[in-house]
Amino acid sequence: MERVSIDDCEPSEAADGVHLALLAGTDSMNVQHFEIEPGATVDEHSHPHDQTGYIVQGELTFLVEGEETVCGPGDSYAIPGDQPHAAENRGDETVRGVDIFSPPRENPSWQSE
């Protein structure tokens, strides 16, 4: 069993105002904590990993195939692998949540994908 505390992680900044911290994982999936500051944007990107997530604080607007979906505290979401998607924090509160990737994913930099 692996236990990883967020307090022991050093977040990386994948894009301006987007902070990620890898948490526990196995050979088939991993958990990543994220914080997205007000006004920050995750540019459109895709990856082969299935992605599910849960919003703990704030509201995050996802843009998928020309449609916008707002997720707030208590909402979960699922994005199939290889589906292009983007996200924006249009509010004035930092968005905090977790993503689960299968297969496991390293901390990305969307500016270079």
| Contacts of 60 by beta carbon, 8 Å cutoff, 6+ apart | 36, 70, 71, 72, 87, 88, 89, 95, 97
What confidence tens digit (pLDDT) does each residue in 78-98 have? 999 999 999 999 999 999 999
What confidence tens digit (pLDDT) does each residue in 64-83 have? 999 999 999 999 999 999 99
Query: How many whole angstroms separate alpha carbon 74 and alpha carbon 54?
Result: 7
**pTM attached to this predicted model:** 0.92
